[in-house]
Structure 1
Amino acid sequence: MKKTFTVSVFTENSIGMMNRVTIIFTRRHLNIDSITASESEVKGVFRYTIVLRTTRAQVEKVIGQLDKLIDVFKAFVHEDSEVVHQEIALYKIKTASLTNGDVEKVIREHHARILTVDTKFMVIEKTGHVNETQLLFENFKPYGVLEFARSGSVAVTKPMKEFSTYLKELEELNHKQ
């Protein structure tokens, strides 16, 4: 049965790394719903957060292949219940929409905020889950959405040990050998 999984991949920061990571998903004909990359809590270590819908068996095979890549320290898979995740969405809508007060009501109802107001447009920000940002997009459509951009999901894990702890354990094992 297909489910949503969040894959965290910890790597060195090297050129072409994102391509090497994503090609593994492509070869297995898996569609990535979102991908983000940033420095992790460990200096010099990058974190890729990848969200996809697939089966547990498929994602486990991908994790095995990711772990074999040079420059990958470790890859982990998480189900939705094991992570706290959010994304940011930006909406550019016509400033003229502000005149009747309905747009402001929609903004308040969705706990969004206005980032900037210009003579022709305004930019609104919403942080939340994909269904929340999509719902706000649908609510803004009647007012004239000029642009819409959504980041990929960023996530931190709940029960799993931290990556820095994993690195320390590896270091201790290397010293014993």
Structure 2
Amino acid sequence: MEKLYTLNIVTENNIGLLNHVTIVFTRRHLNIRSITASESKIKDIYTYTIVVKTTEELIGKVAKQLEKLVGVYKVFVYEDHELIHQELALYKLPISAIKSGINIEEIVREHNARILDIETEYILIEKTGHKEDTQKLLKALQPFGVLQFIRSGRVAMAKPMKSLDE
């Protein structure tokens, strides 16, 4: 049975390594749903966080194949219940949304979001949460004419600490 898996891939900071990592998924016909690259607390060590929907058997094979790549130190595989994860979303609305008579600030507060910027032509809103939460706010803002919407990839930390030695 397919389910969502999050991989935290600990790597060196090498040019082209992310390309080699994504090729492993492409060759196995796996669609990457989310990808984030970030520095770690250790100098020149990076973490790629990749979300895919697949089977337990296939994700195990992918993890082993990734660990064979030069520059990859360790691959950790998690299911959602083993993680604390968030995504960041930005919504750009026309300034007319404020003048619509409906209190846009109330909608923003109801969704635990915040107004980042108000300009002469638009208002910019930020929401941090799970994908479902950011999607709910998008749906609530649709009647105001969302000009632009963008969501980051997942950032995640494991609930049980794992080390590179495991």
Normalised by the length of structure 1, the TM-score is 0.90
Distance 1:103 1:51 in 2: 33
- 1:101 Cα deviation from its structure 2 partner: 3.5
Question: Which deviates more, 101-110 or 131-140?
Answer: 101-110
Q: Which residue of 2 aligns with 1:136?
A: 137
- AA in 2 matched with 1:138: K
Q: Which residue of 1 aligns with 2:160?
A: 159
Residue 41 (structure 1) aligned with residue 41 (structure 2): yes
Distance 2:30 2:124 in 1: 34
- 1:59 Cα deviation from its structure 2 partner: 0.5
- AA in 1 matched with 2:17: M
| Secondary structure class of the residue paired with 2:97 | helix
- AA in 2 matched with 1:150: R
User: How many percent of aligned residue pairs carry the same amino acid?
Assistant: 53
Unmatched 5+ residue regions in structure 2? Answer: none
Kindly name which structure, 1 or 2, has the bigger radius of gyration based on alpha carbons: 1
- AA in 1 matched with 2:78: H
The count of aligned residue pairs is: 165
Residue 71 (structure 1) aligned with residue 38 (structure 2): no
Q: Which residue of 2 aligns with 1:8?
A: 8
Question: Which deviates more, 93-102 or 47-56?
Answer: 93-102
Unmatched 5+ residue regions in structure 1? Answer: 170-177
RMSD: 1.1
Normalised by the length of structure 2, the TM-score is 0.96
- 1:78 Cα deviation from its structure 2 partner: 0.4
**Structure in which a larger fraction of residues adopt helix:** 1
Mapping 1:118-129, distance limit 5 Å? 118-129=119-130
Question: Which deviates more, 7-16 or 98-107?
Answer: 98-107
| Secondary structure class of the residue paired with 1:25 | helix
- 1:70 Cα deviation from its structure 2 partner: 0.3
